[in-house]
Structure formats: structure tokens, C-alpha cells
């Protein structure tokens, strides 16, 4: 087996980055001992508040920012290695595009930078895939923000990258466009690409990603499978038909919720859940709705951030 192919897509250990300020004794700490493993083939979302260090992390794994300390491995190699970088597609947070260029010329240039043979037909297919077929013969300077973003995504997709790193990929894209971008990203993951997504749109991260890390003050404070992070451990919400015997339900282990007809019940496994429902039915209650009492990603983030201390400055 090829060793590099079995390595995680991204692996960082004790990653630290302090931005030094010219003529000043203090530096700004962006990352302070970050550890993270992104498995191959995952759709991984990085979330966290403004200034948490997300963009600094992305720049570190792409070799754009030099870490102050720690190790970074990407696709089993160093981000400094041009051969590794050629296997990564990157959509930066702030796109700088040459306004006087045609989109095809821009994609051709990105292909050359990745040492790929020219592929004009492939570039046109990519423009079509990101919804820019009507704008192929227009200069980039006349593109709207969303169109520029789509072009950036096309550039990131050049050469079928093994790892796609996207910093706020749907910034400026309308809701229909977001759906299209989501579909493209899902297709890429199905193809086997590892996706690394940084987005403030938590609903988007929730829809696309299967793993999530929360970054706060330059450290990973939570990481795991999305379904495990958002799942309420063992609490369920049940709705019973009007007229249910409230006293009987309470005796059966159901706790009335604030909304009428809703009850919470603790059940760590399917057996316990069904036993509780049997007890409810035995006292005449008719179940009309049952769902897990889960949280969304926003609630997970807010809950996690509630206990985080503030960021400090360091002496350089
Ligand atoms: N070039 C720089 N020089 C000095 N400080 C910087 C630089 N880039 C980032 N920082 C600081 O590092 C910290 C992390 O910034 P970073 O942009 O990585 O965070 P972020 O999580 O991407 O934020 P946002 O969600 O607002 O984009 C912040 O305190 C920021 O001010």
C-alpha cells in the first residue's frame, strides 16, 4: 500500500502561530497548540468565532503561513512540497482575480501552476459545472461577487484535487447557487475527495460535513462526528394525542415540556424507549410524534463557547 495514501488528509500537532508586529514587543497569538486529524474522505467543517484562528490554520496547512511551532502534514507530506500542493484545491476567503482576464485564461493559468497539461475543454466543463457557462466570454472584471466566487470554486476543482480546502465558499452566492455549490461539494466527496470547509454558515456546515471541529482562541475545543455532536445523548421528545392522562404519563417517566402535549423522556437505548412508550400506552396515551431531543450546530457552538476564556497577548 502507498504510505502517503493511507496517511490522514491533514494532521497537525501542537500548531502555534504568533504574528509578530514590527517594532513592537508583543505579538498576536492566532494558534496556541492546535491538534487536529482530518481523515481521508471526510467532509470536515471547521467552525468557531471571529478571530479563532480558522484562516490562519488554513494558511498553515497550505504553506502560506509559516507556523511558529508544531508539525503540519498534508496528504502525508509537507505543505511546502509543490507536488503535495498540486494535489490540493484551495478557495481562499478573499479572492484576488485578474479583472482584465477571461475566465478560461484564468483557469488555464491555475492548471499551469499545478503543472497540469492544458485542457481547454475540461476548463469549459468546469465553468459549466459551477454555473458560469453564460459568462464564459465575459471578462472577470465584470463578474458579480457570486460569479467571482463560482470562478474561484472552478479554479479549486482543477485537476481533480484529493483535498479541497474551502474558506467561506458560498460567500456572496445566492440561495439557489448555494444549493448548486452544495451539490458539487457532495459530488466531490462521493468521488473520494476530502473536503475541508471553513464557513460561518453553520446550517451549511451541518448539511455538507460529517465531522466538525470547534476552534476557539487558537485551540480545538471540540471535535467529532457531526451526528454525535448534535445528538442529545438519550433524551427524546414525545407528543401525545389531546386528552392524554398527564398523571399517568408522569408516572410512566414522561416529564411535561413547556409546549402543550409535549413530554421529555430519558431512554439510553431502544429497549428503554419502547418500554417507556408501552407504559404510556398502558395508561391510555396515544403517541402521535417522537423525535430525538437533539441540538443544531449553532446550539453546540454556543454551548461550547460559553465556557471559553478570552485570548491573551504574548510578549514576543
Ligand atoms: N497578518 C496578521 N497579522 C497580525 N495578526 C493577525 C494576522 N492575521 C490574523 N491575525 C490575528 O490572528 C487571530 C486569528 O485570526 P484568523 O483570521 O486566523 O481568525 P478567523 O477564525 O479566520 O477569523 P474570522 O472568522 O473573523 O475570519 C486574530 O486575532 C487576528 O487578529
Render pLDDT for 12-23 as a digit per residue (tens, 0 to 9): 999 999 998 777
The mean pLDDT of 217-227, rounded to a whole number, is: 92
* Domain boundary pick from 229, 252, 285: 229
- By the 8 A CB rule, do 164 and 194 touch? yes
In this model, does residue 308 exceed pLDDT 90?
no
Judge if 27 and 88 occupy the same domain.
yes
Q: Please name the residue whose Cα sits nearest to atom 3 of ligand 1.
A: 19
Gap from CA of 159 to ligand 1 centroid (Å): 30
User: pLDDT, tens digit, for every residue of 124-168?
Assistant: 999 999 999 999 999 999 999 889 999 999 999 999 999 999 998
Length of the chain: 316
240 domain-assigned: yes
The whole-chain average pLDDT of the chain stands at 89
Judge if 167 and 199 occupy the same domain.
yes
CATH code (residue 113): 3.40.50.300
Q: Please name the residue whose Cα sits nearest to atom 26 of ligand 1.
A: 50
CA separation for the pair 195, 153 (Å, rounded): 13
253 domain-assigned: yes
In this model, does residue 247 exceed pLDDT 70?
yes
Gap from CA of 53 to ligand 1 centroid (Å): 6
Judge if 164 and 187 occupy the same domain.
yes
CATH code (residue 272): 3.30.70.1560
Judge if 211 and 245 occupy the same domain.
no
Judge if 212 and 240 occupy the same domain.
no
Domain carrying residue 156: 10-229
Nearest CA to 106 among 47, 165, 153, 171?
153
301 domain-assigned: no
Gap from CA of 115 to ligand 1 centroid (Å): 31
Judge if 149 and 256 occupy the same domain.
no
CA separation for the pair 27, 17 (Å, rounded): 10
Residue 50: Cβ within 10 Å count: 6
The cell for 305 is 463557547
The mean pLDDT of 242-271, rounded to a whole number, is: 88
Please tell me the total count of domains within the chain. Answer: 2
- At residue 229 the predicted structure's pLDDT band, cuts being 50, 70 and 90, is confident
Judge if 121 and 262 occupy the same domain.
no
pLDDT at res. 304:
84
Judge if 103 and 193 occupy the same domain.
yes
305 domain-assigned: no
How are beta strands 262-266 and 313-315 bridged, if at all?
A: unpaired
Judge if 83 and 173 occupy the same domain.
yes
Interior/surface letters 21-43, b for 16+ CB within 10 angstroms, e for the rest: eeeeeebbbbbbebebbbebbbb
Judge if 183 and 280 occupy the same domain.
no
User: pLDDT, tens digit, for every residue of 139-150?
Assistant: 999 999 889 999
116 domain-assigned: yes
312 domain-assigned: no
Judge if 184 and 270 occupy the same domain.
no
In this model, does residue 213 exceed pLDDT 60?
yes
Amino acid at each position: 500500500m502507498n504510505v502517503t495514501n493511507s496517511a490522514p488528509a491533514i494532521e497537525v500537532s501542537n500548531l502555534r502561530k504568533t504574528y509578530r508586529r514590527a517594532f513592537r514587543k508583543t505579538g498576536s497569538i492566532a494558534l496556541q497548540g492546535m491538534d487536529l486529524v482530518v481523515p481521508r474522505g471526510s467532509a470536515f467543517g471547521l467552525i468557531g468565532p471571529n478571530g479563532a484562528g480558522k484562516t490562519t490554520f488554513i494558511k498553515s496547512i497550505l504553506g502560506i503561513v509559516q507556523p511558529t511551532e508544531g508539525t503540519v502534514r498534508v496528504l502525508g507530506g509537507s505543505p511546502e512540497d509543490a507536488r503535495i500542493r498540486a494535489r490540493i484545491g484551495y478557495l481562499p476567503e478573499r479572492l484576488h482575480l485578474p479583472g482584465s482576464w477571461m475566465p478560461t485564461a484564468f483557469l488555464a493559468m491555475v492548471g499551469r501552476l499545478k503543472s497540469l497539461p492544458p485542457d481547454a475543454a475540461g476548463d469549459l466543463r468546469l465553468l459549466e459545472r459551477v454555473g458560469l457557462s453564460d459568462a464564459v466570454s465575459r471578462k472577470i472584471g465584470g463578474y458579480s461577487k457570486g460569479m467571482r466566487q463560482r470562478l474561484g470554486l472552478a479554479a479549486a476543482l482543477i485537476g481533480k484535487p484529493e483535498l479541497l480546502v474551502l474558506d467561506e465558499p458560498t460567500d456572496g452566492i445566492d440561495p439557489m447557487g448555494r444549493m448548486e455549490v452544495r451539490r458539487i461539494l457532495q459530488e466531490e466527496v462521493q468521488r473520494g475527495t476530502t473536503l475541508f470547509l471553513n464557513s460561518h454558515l453553520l446550517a451549511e456546515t451541518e448539511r455538507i460535513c460529517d465531522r466538525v471541529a470547534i476552534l476557539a482562541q487558537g485551540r480545538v475545543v471540540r471535535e467529532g462526528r457531526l451526528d454525535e455532536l448534535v445528538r442529545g445523548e438519550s433524551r427524546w421528545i414525545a407528543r401525545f394525542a389531546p386528552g392524554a392522562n398527564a398523571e399517568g404519563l408522569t408516572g410512566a417517566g414522561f416529564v411535561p415540556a413547556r409546549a402543550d402535549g409535549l413530554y421529555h423522556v430519558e431512554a439510553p437505548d431502544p429497549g428503554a424507549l419502547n418500554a417507556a412508550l408501552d407504559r404510556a400506552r398502558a395508561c391510555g396515551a396515544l403517541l402521535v410524534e417522537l423525535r430525538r431531543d437533539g441540538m443544531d450546530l449553532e446550539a453546540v457552538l454556543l454551548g461550547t463557547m460559553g465556557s471559553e476564556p478570552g485570548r491573551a497577548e504574548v510578549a514576543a
